[in-house]
Structure 1
Amino acid sequence: MGDGAELLPAWVTWQRRSFPDANLLLLHGRQPALVDSGFVGHARETAAWARAHAGHIALVVNTHWHSDHVGGNALLQAMGAGVAAGAPDAQAVARRDTGCCLAEYLDQPVSPYTVDESLDDGQILRLGDADWQVVSTPGHTAGHLALWQPEERLLAVGDALSDYDVGWVNLALDGPEAATTALASLHRLADLQPRLLLPAHGPIPADPSAAFAAAMRRAQRLVDDPACAVWYGARRIFAFALMIRDGIPTTEVEGYLHARAWLTDAARLLGRTPEALAAELVDMMLRSGAIVLSDGRLRATAEHTPVVAESLRVPFPRAWPTTAPASAEVTESR
């Protein structure tokens, strides 16, 4: 399998995926479970992979509700799976809050889904044939959680950290303490002393202790320099927008950015106008090589899997139905 997956027990199947998807973690047993479900544009591929490896999925557990983690929920739910999520996310989805998944705020589509099980810190979940403990790890989002399997000392960390990064924090929506909260969550996870870290992005780290040490240094910088945290989030959000749209024409980039709520919030926190921040963001990312100009479009340079444009045409949460019946129509990539 590579990427450290050979160190996993036989009842775990793990697949590393490029953006805009999260990695997949499949837990085999009488009640097969999937941790996170990728991006909506690749929902069909996610479901086919799960069927091929497990036959069916009884439960999808979301580490948090960003679009790259919940995009396959609706299709898997229509195929009979339940969905479990941290209590803050579950409650907001149940209320059909317009801010669900930050889908409209970030302009990242998510097909309508429901949450069947609300998860609390310390709760024990039977996933596959093993017991996993829910570990509340807010910071990247308020409802972020990790999953801990003590016998095998496996720790699924979502976006709390990866082999090369930490999750961005949203100071505008989650408050100025969000970076401090994320750092505290990292310390809590490190205290578990896992044998294997299973991140939502990138490879399985060869050395969990080293991965934690590097992540804490990065997270501390976000605590010490709030402006750095704002810039970091803006770069990540804009790169994701370019990935899922096969780039954006240069003639449309300015209008696209000026219309984004996340950019307006970032500009306010940085003491700039949205117009000035948009221009500076594009210039900064071009100079760093994070984006390039190609065929009249700005494109992200990070490795990513193409998305069919039609798959982005799903309603924002303000237009989600009150309930999502099993027969709900799901737009997928072809």
Structure 2
Amino acid sequence: MSPQPSLPSWLTWWQRPFPDANTLLLHGRQPTLIDTGFVAHAEETAAWARAHAGDIALVLNTHWHSDHVGGNALLQAQGAAIAAGAPEAEAISRRDPGCCAAEYLDQPVAPYMVDLALDDGQVLRLGDADWEVIRTPGHTPGHLALWQPEERLLVVGDALSDYDVGWVNLALDGLDSATTALASLKRMAALAPRVILPSHGPIPTEPATAFAAALRRAQRLVDDPDGAAWYGARRIFAFALMIRDGIPAGEVEPYLHARAWLADAARLLDLTPEALATELVTTMLTSGAVVLRDGRLHAAADHTSVAAEALHVPYPRAWPATEPR
């Protein structure tokens, strides 16, 4: 086994299980947090950051899914500015009901504002080092990577991990979103980073090998749109089970029937939502991705528990209007 890549002393990496994304802290005169985990664990995220770096000056999100922006509201209330990719920043500023795909995915996100919209090629001083913003759409249209050329560090968000690639939403983002994700991966791979810092799972020990595997997986999503739709449905359903401590077996299919993402996946697959829901549950039980325990369906993957009251967050359509900072 190859040794773990070395990290500079001005960076602290926190690998976290679902439903949180990994968190990266950049130390220095402008302490910066890259992604803030799930809303249920916002206090834990803020306390960890404060213990390691004091007051956080900036939060930068690789993208706006719930497992990446859950601590934004709390950290912003404590004085941090928020930075995000331009398309997502603009939608949040106008309080678009589709913000963070929160209602669509049925994943809670506490309301926040974006102070700094980022676009391709910008160079930012984060901590005490300069990082380049690289637009890497695919998993979401506003997805970003961050490149630190001196240390050859690449923050990749959900574009890839040591074991997977990010799912793509063919219904919301278009049938070419898988091709877009593949192009983003190729662009990142061309940088030949020394270290890949993913949002889920461990730091890959061999970046070139990780990229080669990710490119093969992403090409399969391009070549097999039905497979891409199934892949997204499995990922979204597993996350729903994680944040709810499972769902009672008798309530699972009615829950799925009410979901917009399931209706969209069914349309792409030329199935009824009811048929897709049944097949999704059956296949995931058969594969071991979900398990039946004490009358509830649970996600089998490692994850941290979520207090039920943490899910009582309004959808973006009910977020308060933004105010000048």
TM-score bracket for the superposition, by shorter chain length: over 0.9
CA RMSD of aligned residues (A): 1.2
Aligned match of 1:224 = 223
C-alpha deviation, 1:323, in angstroms: 2.1
- CA distance change for structure 1 residues 200 and 324 in 2, over 3 Å: closer, same or farther? farther
Is the 8 Å Cα contact of residues 5 and 195 (structure 2) preserved in structure 1? no
**Cα distance in 2 for residues equivalent to 1:13 and 1:218:** 29
Inter-CA distance 5–49: structure 2 relative to 1 (3 Å threshold): farther
Matches within 5 A, 1:54-69: 54-69=53-68
- 5 Å-filtered alignment, 1:278-293, equals 278-293=277-292
- Tell me how far apart the structure 1 counterparts of residues 3 and 310 of structure 2 sit (CA, whole Å): 32
**Contact 1:86-1:118 within 8 A present in 2 as well:** yes
Deviation at 1:200, TM superposition (A): 0.3
**Paired residue for 1:215?**
214
Cα distance, 1:4 vs structure 2: 7.1
Deviations 1:257-311 (A, max 9, x none): 0000000000000000000000000000000000011001000000000000111
Aligned residue type for 2:38: F
Which residue in the other structure is 1:134 paired with? 133
**TM-superposed deviation, 1:254:** 1.3
Look up the equivalent residue of 1:58 and give its one-letter code: A
1:148 aligned partner: 147
Determine the C-alpha separation between the residues in 1 that align with 2:189 and 2:277.
37
Tell me the TM-score normalized by structure 1: 0.96
Q: Quote the Cα distance in structure 2 between the aligned partners of 1:254 and 1:18.
A: 26
Distance of 2:51 and 2:306 partners within structure 1: 22
Correspondence 1:40 to 2:39: yes
* Corresponding residue of 2:99: 100
Other structure's SS at 2:231 match: helix
Displacement after TM superposition at 1:56 (Å): 1.1
CA–CA separation in structure 2 for the residues paired with 1:282 and 1:234: 10
> Aligned to 1:173, what secondary structure does the other structure show?
helix
Distance 1:324 1:232 in 2: 39
The within-5 A match list for 1:133-282 is: 133-282=132-281
Correspondence for 1:120: 119
- CA distance in 2 between partners of 1:8 and 1:79 (Å): 28
Residue ranges of structure 2 left out of the alignment (5+ in a row): none
Helix, strand or coil at the partner of 1:29: coil
- Which secondary structure does the structure 2 equivalent of 1:194 belong to? coil
In 2 relative to 1, CA 132–4 (structure 1 residues): closer, same or farther, beyond 3 Å?
Answer: farther
Structure 1 residues 212-260: Cα deviation after superposition (integer angstroms, max 9, x where no partner):
0000000000000000000000000000000000000011111100000
- Alpha-carbon distance in 1 for matches of 2:195, 2:114: 28
Aligned residues of 1:42 and 1:72 also touching (Cα < 8 A): yes
TM-score normalised to structure 2 length: 0.98
SS at match of 2:233: helix
Aligned twin of 1:16: 15
State the partner residue of 2:69.
Answer: 70
Aligned mates of 1:198, 1:61 — CA distance in 2: 14
Work out the percentage of aligned pairs sharing the same amino acid. Answer: 76
- 1:330 — aligned with what? none
2:8 and 2:48 map into 1 onto residues whose CA distance is: 19
Report the 3-state secondary structure (helix = DSSP H, G, I; strand = E; otherwise coil) of the residue aligned with 1:266.
Answer: helix
Per-residue CA distance 1:156-201 (angstroms, 9 max, x = gap): 0000000000000000011010000000000000011100000000
Aligned partners of 2:27 and 2:128 also within 8 Å: yes
> For 2:177 and 2:3, how far apart are their aligned partners in 1?
31
Instruction: State whether residues 4 and 203 of structure 1, in contact with CA within 8 Å, keep that contact through their aligned partners in structure 2.
Output: no
Map Cα deviations across residues 99-144 of structure 1 (whole Å, 9 max, x no partner).
0000000000000000000001000011001000000000000000
**Structure 2: distance between partners of 1:324 and 1:282:** 43
- Per the TM alignment, residue 324 of structure 1 is displaced from its structure 2 partner at its CA by 6.5
- Aligned equivalents of 1:300, 1:56: Cα separation in 2: 35
Aligned length: 324
Instruction: Tell me the distance in 2 between the aligned counterparts of 1:212 and 1:160.
Output: 10
Q: Secondary structure at the match of 1:7?
A: coil
**Mapped partners of 1:323, 1:64: distance in 2:** 19
In 2, are the aligned partners of 1:5 and 1:14 still within 8 Å (CA)? Answer: no
Q: Secondary structure at the match of 2:321?
A: coil
Structure 1 stretches lacking a partner, 5+ long? 327-334
Say whether the 8 Å CA contact 1:78–1:325 is kept in structure 2.
no
Residue 218 of structure 2 aligns to a residue in which SS? helix
Whole-angstrom CA distance in 2 between matches of 1:157 and 1:92: 22
